[in-house]
Amino acid sequence: MSVLCSLATNIESMIIFRALQGFFGGAMIPTVFSTVFIIFPPSQRPKITILIGLVVTVAPTLGPTLGGYITEILSWHFMFLLNVIPGIFVCSVVFLYGHFDKPNYNLLKNFDFLGIAIMALTLGLLQYVLEEGNKKGWLEDNVILFLSIAVALGFILLIIRELTFINPILDLKTFLHKDFTFGCLYSFVMGIGLYGAVYILPLFLFTIAGYDTLQIGATMMVTGIAQFLSAPLAGRMLGAGVDLRLMLIIGLGGFALGCHLNSFLTPDSKFAEFVLPQFVRGLSLMFCFIPTNNIALGNMPREKVGNASGLYNLTRNLGGAVGLAVISTILTNDTKIFMQYLSENIPSTSIMAMEQLDSYTALLSGKVFNPEKASYLLLANKINTDAFVIAINNIFNMIALLFILIMLLIPFTSNIKLSGNTNAH
């Protein structure tokens, strides 16, 4: 499917090929998670969990970086060709040596085709609503309103179907496991923070700082480097039996701190001011992902791991989708609010404002027809820029607050003892 995406000639064909790519590749990450907890004994899981954690968290962090370099140096087509050779290699190795499971074709007799159809349609409509809602004023738009109702009905039908069907595609009863439910909540919030930060900071770098794709990539790479540096420490702590809840406190608290440190941006912020916040967030990611993964799936019975891993990863992706929609809406609304506030609180007699207007007028004199009017436009643009930056800082603080609030669940979360888990044998 990646090859087909690279050969797309228009947006319509790209959408079709990307949909197929998502359909065929969507099961990979849940399969990897379930495999870890099925074939590896608890004593070996710390090292394996570290590797999986790096893959899952580094991908959305360094993906935009690598994509920026490839697009700038070569072409966007090569982004889709990048995984072809590694994909062939991995498939070959798994086919030859991955004899840890056998297909059960009897499952096709009672396969939940209706359930998967309802889920695909509902999630597809939800994604559209989240992507387009902010642009169209959410429920003020009739199409968004209609689709929102359809999404709500779709989720109701999906819940009824999955709770009553003999072999559901989603075993919702898995949520009766307290630690799995908590793990999914942590995963949902992590999705908001991970994808939200990857969205909002490059937006600032491009819109305000004027960075190109290569510069944005170099800046975002700091987070990925920090993740690699923290992985051995997180793995050592996990192997030593450190309380998973303590690791989670370090991870969630560190991510919140990193976001808060990012909330002091100004239109004149430089590269050095982006390093520490990103480094702190990067260090914390492994301490978020590893304990959450083990809390959610560590005590899950073997026969339920496959289904549970699918739900677990779905919550992180949903967190990312919902988070991006909410962040986009907040950014739009807060920019308008702060722009109005700044405009109303600049008195006509403000010495600073008059000096700024005079400098703009002097700068534009002889270059434009009406330098006085143009200077007012430049001042308005500066106010809009300042409002946009304040809104971004506000969002970083909101993400930080969300991570602090989710930490309130930690005292009620069990400490999964990896060495004592026998469910995977």
How much is the pLDDT for 360?
A: 59
CA distance 245 to 222: 26
Of residues 415 and 173, the one with the higher pLDDT is 173
Measured CA to CA, the distance from residue 310 to residue 189 in angstroms comes to: 17
Distance of alpha carbon 298 from alpha carbon 49, whole angstroms: 11
- CA–CA gap between residue 71 and residue 80 (Å, rounded): 11
- State pLDDT tens for residues 183-235: 999 999 999 999 999 899 999 998 998 888 778 888 888 888 888 888 888 88
Structure confidence by residue, pLDDT tens digits, 44-83? 766 777 777 777 666 666 676 677 777 777 777 777 887 7
Q: pLDDT tens-digit profile of 355-397?
A: 665 665 666 666 656 666 666 566 677 888 889 999 999 999 9
Instruction: State the number of CA atoms in the 13 A half-sphere of 159 facing the CB.
Output: 7
| One-character DSSP codes across 289-356 | HHHHHHHHHTTS-HHHHHHHHHHHHHHHHHHHHHHHHHHHHHHHHHHHHHHHHHHHTS-TT-HHHHHH
Give me the pLDDT at residue 422, please.
38
What confidence tens digit (pLDDT) does each residue in 10-39 have?
A: 888 888 888 787 777 766 776 776 777 677
What's residue 108's pLDDT? 72
- Look at residue 378 in the predicted model and tell me its pLDDT: 66
Distance CA 152, CA 144 (A): 12
